[in-house]
Each structure stands twice: as structure tokens, then as C-alpha cells.
């Protein structure tokens, strides 16, 4: 895992390639920075974020205490997450439909009925009881 540093209590990141010291000089190459140089430039080594359940929890950084806090997501945040997930699934489904449009042309060399069934199953994924948390994707017909 990447070592994280907070610059002047800001959200932690990996060290940049260049740091600016208090006297205005710069140093490059994070592998050669000394602890004194990092401190002089305002960087503080922080703990890596703790493990958390991203579906129901969020991680917040407190720059004053230089600590991570795990908080439950609000109802609004949970709803937004669900909408984003549903939109992502719909976009993937729409790509699959678009990629199989050619199968419905009258002279296509495939079993059009099988492909029509597959395509209808794609359209119906939003009706699944577990949508959008879990989606049972239809199996691609094997007569390409």
C-alpha cells in the first residue's frame, strides 16, 4: 500500500516528485527525501485509511487530528449511490444492445429469435428484484 502524507493538514496523498522547503529551495525524488526535509516542507506521515464497507459507510479525513473516521452514509448518499450504480448498469446494457443491433437485420446470418430473446432479457434487467445491487446478466448466444 502507498505511504500517505498530509501537507499542512490537507487530505493525505502519496508524496509528490518535488517538495518546496521553507527556505524556497526544492528537492526532487521522493525516495531521497529525509524526514527533516518532509517536516520542513509541511508533510506529516499519516496512517493508511482503515478498511470500511463502502456500500454503507464513508471515510472522512480530519486534518486537525490527522485521523480517519468511518461514518455511516446518509439516506441521501445511499440513494445517490444507487442511482449512479443503476445508471452504470443501464449504460453497459445499452452498449450490449447496440453491439447486437446487427443481429436483428433481416439478412443477418444468426438465429434472430434467439438474439431477440437475449436482447429482451437485456432490456428486462431493470425489472429484476435485486436491481441494481445484483444483476443476472443473460448469456450471450453462441451462434456468432
Closest alpha carbon to 37 in 53, 52, 26: 26
The arithmetic mean of pLDDT across residues 30-42, rounded, is: 95
Q: Would you kindly state where each structural domain of the chain is located, as residue ranges? A: 4-72, 75-127
Residue 9 pLDDT grade (very low, low, confident, very high; cuts 50, 70, 90): very high
- Which pLDDT score is estimated for 2? 85
- Which pLDDT score is estimated for 98? 97
pTM tops 0.75: no
Which residues in 2-142 belong to E strands, given as ranges? 4-7, 18-20, 26-28, 43-46, 57-62, 67-72
Beta strand pairing call for 18-20 and 4-7: unpaired
Cα–Cα distance list, 52 to 49, 58, 69, 78, 79 (Å): 9, 8, 10, 15, 19
- Give yes or no for residue 42 having a pLDDT over 90: yes
Amino acid at each position: 500500500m502507498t505511504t500517505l502524507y498530509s501537507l499542512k493538514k490537507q487530505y493525505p496523498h502519496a508524496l509528490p516528485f518535488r517538495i518546496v522547503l521553507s527556505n524556497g529551495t526544492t528537492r526532487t525524488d521522493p525516495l531521497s527525501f529525509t524526514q527533516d526535509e518532509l517536516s520542513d516542507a509541511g508533510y506529516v506521515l499519516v496512517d493508511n485509511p482503515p478498511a470500511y464497507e463502502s456500500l454503507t459507510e464513508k471515510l472522512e479525513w480530519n486534518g486537525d487530528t490527522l485521523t480517519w473516521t468511518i461514518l455511516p452514509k446518509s439516506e441521501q448518499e445511499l440513494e445517490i449511490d444507487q442511482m449512479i450504480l443503476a445508471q452504470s448498469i443501464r449504460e453497459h446494457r445499452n452498449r450490449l444492445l447496440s453491439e447486437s443491433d446487427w443481429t436483428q437485420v433481416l439478412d443477418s446470418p444468426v438465429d434472430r429469435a434467439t438474439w431477440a430473446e437475449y436482447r429482451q432479457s437485456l432490456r428486462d434487467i431493470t425489472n429484476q428484484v435485486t436491481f441494481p445491487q445484483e444483476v443476472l446478466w443473460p448469456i450471450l448466444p453462441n451462434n456468432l
